[in-house]
């Protein structure tokens, strides 16, 4: 393993991110932007740039680079937050507590296919987090449980095969002969649903988010939840404000209570993606719903809901 410690690439020796005892496994990411192949002497420049961009993010409030490890095309593994540190890259608080995050220095354009050296490096990073960070055997992509294209088609195809080393096969993971359903209420259930059907947004009017085969509810009580809503909207004039709000709904009384506007965005492109998150507790018989409002007419072309919830007895 060609490990580059934090201090070697220019970060403080220890990450200020919150500690974590163990994880289910590891999620693989990519940069999600155009990226081109380069000499190895420039790879640490990209790692520093990623950290700087994260620290300067206007809404995420990152304490450090979001990833636990990063891997360049030459197979070098850069220590990000490192082992036993909670990632900030997986999309929600619960998803960040569930798995570590390893980012390939790979682009959505330009260099999009991982070379063998990078695949070896990612596998090195996964095995390091298992050995040093008590990561479990599960391996997935950022898109598993979160609405995103990350880590891109070519890399995700490799992840789906079990992340085997080039020229070899992935080790077989133990599978129980008789699956046993979770019995503890602290085991979360995953929400991962989406709807690509276009919906017209009327200027100045709140629109209830609905998904196929469901009413307006995202999750019902009694439960705790940590949910993200991801929207894609087109046709908005530059500068249009888009807002979202979660609220608790009592079907028996048809009462919409506790409406909380969240995360106001200004769109400068006429087509953009918006992310809203909420976490809390629902009383028995109460539903969590979500509404979106734009100051100008537009078309909601895709919506997705991702996250976890903990049903209570």
pLDDT tens readout for residues 279-308: 788 888 888 888 888 888 988 887 778 777
43-57 mean pLDDT = 93
Average confidence (pLDDT) over 50-68: 91
- For residues 302 and 128, give the distance between their C-alpha atoms in angstroms, rounded to a whole number: 37
Pairwise pLDDT comparison (29 vs 174), residue with the higher score = 29
pLDDT digits (tens, 9 = 90+) for 227-254: 878 788 888 887 788 888 888 888 766 6
Q: Which helix (H) or strand (E) holds 31?
A: none
Does 108 or 272 have the greater pLDDT score?
108
Percent of the chain exceeding pLDDT 70 equals 83
Torsion of CA 75, 79, 81, 82, to 10 degrees: 90
Contact 218, 305 (CB under 8 A): yes
Q: According to the model, what pLDDT value does residue 220 have?
A: 86
Burial of 138 (0-12, 13-18, 19+ CB in 10 A): middle
State the Cα–Cα distance between residues 73 and 39, nearest whole angstrom: 9
Alpha carbons 109 and 207: distance in angstroms, whole number: 35
- Residue 264: predicted pLDDT: 44
**The predicted structure's pLDDT at residue 275:** 75
DSSP state of 49: H
């Amino acid at each position: 393993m060609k490990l580059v410690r934090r201090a070697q690439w220019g970060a403080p020796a220890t990450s200020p991110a919150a500690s974590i005892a163990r994880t289910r496994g590891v999620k693989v990411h990519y940069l999600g932007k155009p990226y081109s192949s380069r000499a190895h002497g420039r790879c640490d420049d990209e790692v520093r740039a990623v950290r700087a961009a994260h620290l300067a993010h206007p809404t995420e409030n990152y304490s450090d680079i979001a990833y636990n490890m990063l891997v360049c095309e030459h197979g070098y593994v850069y220590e990000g937050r490192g082992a036993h540190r909670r990632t900030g890259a997986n999309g929600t608080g619960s998803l960040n507590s569930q798995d570590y995050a390893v980012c390939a220095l790979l682009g959505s354009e330009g260099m999009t296919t991982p070379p063998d050296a990078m695949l070896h490096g990612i596998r090195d990073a996964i095995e390091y987090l298992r050995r040093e960070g008590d990561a479990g055997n599960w391996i997935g992509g950022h898109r598993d449980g979160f609405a995103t294209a990350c880590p891109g088609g070519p890399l995700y195809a490799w992840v789906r095969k079990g992340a085997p080393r080039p020229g070899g096969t992935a080790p077989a993971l133990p599978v129980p002969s008789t699956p046993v359903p979770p019995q503890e209420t602290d085991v979360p259930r995953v929400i991962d649903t989406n709807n690509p059907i276009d919906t017209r947004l009327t200027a100045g009017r709140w629109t209830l988010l609905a998904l196929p085969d469901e009413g307006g509810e995202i999750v019902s009580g009694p439960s705790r939840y940590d949910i993200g809503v991801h929207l894609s909207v087109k046709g908005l004039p530059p500068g249009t404000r888009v807002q979202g709000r979660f609220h608790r709904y009592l079907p028996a009384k048809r009462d919409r209570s506790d409406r909380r506007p969240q995360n106001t965005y200004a769109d400068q492109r006429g087509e953009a993606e918006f992310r809203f998150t909420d976490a809390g507790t629902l009383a028995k018989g109460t539903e969590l719903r979500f509404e979106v409002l734009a100051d100008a007419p537009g078309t909601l072309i895709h919506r997705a809901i991702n996250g976890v919830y903990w049903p209570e007895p």
